[in-house]
Copies of this chain bind each other. A is one copy, B any other.
Amino acid sequence: MHQAQEHDRVLLISPDRKQYIISLQRGMRFHTHKGIVDHDDLIGQPLGREIRTHLNHSFMVLRPSLHDILMNVKRVSQIIYPKEIGVILLKLDVSSGRRVIEAGTGSGALTIALANAVRPAGKVYSYELREEMLRIARENVDTAGLSDYVSFHHSDIADGFEQSEVDALFLDVREPWCYLDRVCPVLADGGFFGALVPTTNQVSDLLAGMTRYPLTGVDVMEVLIRRYKPVPQRLRPRDVMVGHTGYLVFARKISKMLLDPRREKRRGSRNRVRI
Contact = CB atoms under 8 A, between A and B. Distances in A.
A interface: dominant SS:
mixed
Interface in A12-70: 13-15, 17, 46-51, 58, 60, 62-63, 65-67
B83 A253 contact: no
Interface string A235-275: 11111111111010100111100111001000000011011
Interface string A63-93: 1011100000000000000110111011101
Nearest to A237: B244
Given A219-B230, A239-B243, A255 B65 contact: no
Contacts of A216: 13, 60
A204 B235 contact: yes
Contacts of A228: 203, 220-222, 247
Count identical subunits in the complex: 4
Contacts of A238: 243-244
B263 A198 contact: no
Given A222-B226, A230-B219, A239-B244, A95 B83 contact: no
Contacts of A173: none
A79 to B, nearest CB: 14
B231 A271 contact: yes
B232 A272 contact: yes
A85 B83 CA distance: 11
Interface residues of A, number: 96
A258 to B, nearest CB: 5
Given A189-B48, A190-B48, A221 B227 contact: yes
Contact of A50 (B83, B221, B258): B258
Nearest to A227: B221
Given A225-B223, A232-B211, A239-B242, A48 B93 contact: no
A48 B234 contact: no
Given A1-B165, A85-B86, A200-B235, 15 more contacts: A13-B217, A14-B275, A46-B189, A60-B254, A62-B254, A67-B93, A82-B87, A83-B223, A199-B234, A201-B204, A207-B230, A218-B230, A224-B225, A227-B243, A231-B272
Interface of A: 1-2, 13-15, 17, 46-51, 58, 60, 62-63, 65-67, 82-83, 85-87, 89-91, 93, 95-96, 113, 116-117, 119-121, 165, 188-192, 198-201, 203-205, 207-208, 211, 216-245, 247, 249, 252-255, 258-260, 263, 271-272, 274-275
The 9 residue pairs across chains A and B that have the minimum distance between CB atoms:
A86-B86, A48-B189, A48-B190, A241-B243, A65-B93, A200-B200, A237-B244, A49-B255, A208-B232
